């Protein structure tokens, strides 16, 4: 069974997140149904994803993989005229709803796993700190706060969280799961259009971790906490009631990083054994 890598984007507004759940509209269920449909499979295709985004979270650079029966893949309509990956991309977009766009379909290198081969995930969080300046067309991926933010203070506060740390204070506790992560980037900028945006990159994230990292730095930006506050929360090692988990709709998965093709199998093995 060849494995396909699927790069995709979605507007998370009308989805109950990535993961399939009975009776709910999810990205996984839509993509799985679309793959099954274009390959004429008898049951929903199994999809593995790099970042299992929560309800309302968007993606511009999500990565998934799926294994397809050789004979089904060979029969994708339009294959005669085009390379099969090209035909699959066009067909998937033709059957998917408007709020999901498949960027490309490519044959995965040997041993590739969309989740376990990933070496980092990069997220973005958008905040508008002047309600009347909000572009109403961006209200679905922008969180509004009513007071002005100081991005310089937020940059300084975020910097203190970088590196290999136990992020238990920013994670929803799960039995037997580690909360140790490497935070590779956490920066803030004020964009030309006035939006204050965070870039957060780590090897992996626990559930709601990005939104808690944003929530920890926000009081600093509002002048209600010292620059050292997020680092103090980190050291505390437990959920801090002063840290608000920010709303989902400001968050977007922008990019997933993988090693060179020759290393994806080794990376997947290493990540799997670390989780076990």
Q: Tell me the closest approach of the beta carbon of residue 61 to a copy of itself, in angstroms.
A: 11
- How is residue 177 written in tokens? 């799961």
Which positions touch a copy of itself (CB under 8 A)?
A: 9-11, 58, 60, 89, 93, 98-104, 131-141, 252
Q: Tell me the closest approach of the beta carbon of residue 131 to a copy of itself, in angstroms.
A: 6
Q: Which is nearer to a copy of itself, 105 or 183 (CB)?
A: 105
Q: Tell me the closest approach of the beta carbon of residue 260 to a copy of itself, in angstroms.
A: 24
Query: In terms of residues, how long is the chain?
Result: 276
Q: Which residue has the tokens 């839509």?
A: 30
DSSP 12: G
Q: Which is nearer to a copy of itself, 140 or 159 (CB)?
A: 140
- C-alpha distances (whole Å) from 200 to each of 114, 149, 166, 189, 243 are 19, 18, 16, 12, 17
What SS3 class is residue 10?
strand
- How is residue 201 written in tokens? 């990159």
Q: Tell me the closest approach of the beta carbon of residue 106 to a copy of itself, in angstroms.
A: 12
Q: Which is nearer to a copy of itself, 137 or 238 (CB)?
A: 137
Q: Which residue has the tokens 């700190």?
A: 129
DSSP 24: S
DSSP 22: T
Q: Which is nearer to a copy of itself, 103 or 244 (CB)?
A: 103
How far is residue 34's CA from residue 44's CA, in Å, rounded to a whole number? 9
Are 187 and 198 in contact, with CB atoms under 8 Å apart? yes
Handedness of CA 135, 136, 141, 145 (dihedral sign): positive
Q: Which is nearer to a copy of itself, 132 or 176 (CB)?
A: 132
| HSE-up (13 A, CA, CB side) for residue 170 | 27
Q: Which is nearer to a copy of itself, 71 or 98 (CB)?
A: 98
- How is residue 47 written in tokens? 């999809």
Q: Tell me the closest approach of the beta carbon of residue 96 to a copy of itself, in angstroms.
A: 10
Q: Tell me the closest approach of the beta carbon of residue 140 to a copy of itself, in angstroms.
A: 6
**158 burial via Cβ count (<10 Å: 0-12, 13-18, 19+):** buried
Active site residues: 54
């Amino acid at each position: 069974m060849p494995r396909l890598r699927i790069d995709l984007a979605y507007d998370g507004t009308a989805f109950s997140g990535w993961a399939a759940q009975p009776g709910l509209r999810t990205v996984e269920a839509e993509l799985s149904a679309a793959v099954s449909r274009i390959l004429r499979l008898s049951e929903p295709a199994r999809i593995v994803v790099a970042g299992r985004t929560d309800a309302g979270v968007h993606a511009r650079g999500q990565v998934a993989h799926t294994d397809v029966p050789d004979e089904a893949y060979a029969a994708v309509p339009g294959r005669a005229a085009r390379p099969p990956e090209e035909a699959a991309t066009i067909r998937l977009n033709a059957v998917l709803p408007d709020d999901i766009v498949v960027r490309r379909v490519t044959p995965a290198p040997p041993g590739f796993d969309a989740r376990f081969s990933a070496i980092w995930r990069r997220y973005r969080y958008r905040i508008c700190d002047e309600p009347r300046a909000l572009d109403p067309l961006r209200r679905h991926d922008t969180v509004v706060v009513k007071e002005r933010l100081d991005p310089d203070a937020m940059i300084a506060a975020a910097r203190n969280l970088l590196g290999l740390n136990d992020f238990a204070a920013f994670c929803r506790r799960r039995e037997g799961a580690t909360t140790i992560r490497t935070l590779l980037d956490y920066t803030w900028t004020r964009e030309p259009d006035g939006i204050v945006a965070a870039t957060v990159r780590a090897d992996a994230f626990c559930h709601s971790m990005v939104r808690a990292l944003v929530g920890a730095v926000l009081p600093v930006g509002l002048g209600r906490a010292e620059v050292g506050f997020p680092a103090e929360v980190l050291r505390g090692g437990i959920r801090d009631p002063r840290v608000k988990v920010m709303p989902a709709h400001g968050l977007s998965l922008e990019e997933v990083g993988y090693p060179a093709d020759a290393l994806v199998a080794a990376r997947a093995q290493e990540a799997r054994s670390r989780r076990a």
